[in-house]
Chain A
Amino acid sequence: MANAQGGDKRLYERLLKELAPVIEAYVRSRFGTLTFTEDCVQECLLAIHNARHTYDPGRRFRPWLFAIVRNKTVDLLRRSYTSERARAERAVHAAAAEAAAPDPAAELAAGEILANLKPQFRSALMLTKIAGYSVIEAAAHSGISETAMKSRVRRAIRAAESLLNEERDSG
């Protein structure tokens, strides 16, 4: 990163290519599924690019990097994120899904963070942020009102952020 600050493109390209799978592994291990992970990796790379002027070469790189990764992950969760790929996949498998997968949330591999959330929070996040359900669809699937689902999603994101912060604070 210090070389990148000086404008060394070759080393910067190598750095970004090495960081991408590291970020992907980190996000996947905590939140699971692929479509959300890829968007997160790209957002993180962009944020690293935009924040490179703040990195102090005299300090450790890892805390700087993962502060950005954690922040961007939570940012992405907060946005009204609808994965077009997830929706397209659901549309293709819609008929089979109804019969074979009555609980889509259970199908998706839960990452470490999701696994540590309360079941209702985990389900809310996985339906709305990862499987691409709208709030109305997720509420109908869960048998609760739209308002209740919105509240549940907000609280789920706060809980996930809290778990990420605990993880950082414990080293």
Chain B
Amino acid sequence: MTRNREDLIANLVAELEPVAKPGRVWLDAVVWLAAATVYSVAITFALGPLRPGALKDLGGHPLFMAETVLAATAIVVTALAALRSAIPGEPRVGRLRWLLPLAAWVSVYVVGLAHPPAYVSSLGGRFECLWQVVLVSLPAFVLFVLFMRRKYPLWPRWSGFLAGAAAAAIPGALMQFGCMYVPEHILTHHIAPIFLTAGLGALLGPWVVKARGAAAHRSEGEQQLH
């Protein structure tokens, strides 16, 4: 073993401190989802009212309920994928499968272009809803990055992309209740910002999605001693 290597190992051993073992990814996802959803709902409906008839559509049209459930599933799965991507050793084979629920949700509106559902409504259009989705998503994105930095992301662009998508998917889905329900408008003004924010996340990933390192994760016992 080289002298430099010996010295390095000696230094690493000397600075070894207990660290908290990793928590469950799904627990982190639940905490983030709860915080991001409460915040997004509060801000989205502070900026504008519920679309007239939106809740009635939810109860009266099973397809709308199914679409809403699909949107929620896409958000949860994308959030889980983002957190898992920040842990070394998570399998990357088939990682695009994590985007299937999101793709399925988007395809509902693509199909809706040719076969608009009965609950299409041009009531309740919001001013600059596209930018509302992007702006509302930014704090949720920042919070997500803070969660990911507690892990050790090795592919910051991919992790940033998923974090951006998950963060923007919440206000994007809420717009189905807060803005007009027209498939073309939904695709260009509620769904497109999801990919815009995902792209921003991928672009910023190498700078913001950085690991904080194990020193920041000393176990509770050690923290109490200090």
Contact = CB atoms under 8 A, between A and B. Distances in A.
B108 interface: no
B223 interface: no
A49 B12 contact: yes
B214 interface: yes
Interface of B: 1-2, 4-5, 8-10, 12-14, 16-22, 87-93, 151-152, 154-155, 211, 213-215, 217, 219, 222
B152 A50 contact: yes
A22 to B, nearest CB: 13
Nearest to B86: A54
Contacts of A165: 92
Contact of A52 (B1, B2, B19, B91): B19
A53 B19 CA distance: 6
Contact of B13 (A12, A42, A60): A12
A110 B103 CA distance: 43
A137 interface: no
A48 to B, nearest CB: 9
B5 A53 contact: no
A131 interface: no
A42 B90 CA distance: 23
A17 interface: yes
Given A12-B13, A64-B89, A165-B92, 9 more contacts: A6-B219, A21-B1, A38-B4, A50-B213, A51-B88, A54-B152, A56-B21, A67-B88, A67-B154
A71 B14 CA distance: 25
Contacts of A66: 89
A50 B89 CA distance: 15
Contacts of B87: 54, 56
Interface secondary structure of B, over-half rule: loop
Contacts of A51: 88, 152, 211, 213-214
Interface of A: 2, 4-7, 9, 12-13, 16-17, 20-21, 38, 41-42, 45-46, 49-57, 59-60, 63-68, 71, 165, 168-169
B88 A45 contact: no
Contacts of B155: 71
Nearest to B18: A7
A12 B10 CA distance: 10
Contact of A50 (B14, B92, B211): B211
A16 B1 CA distance: 12
A61 B10 CA distance: 22
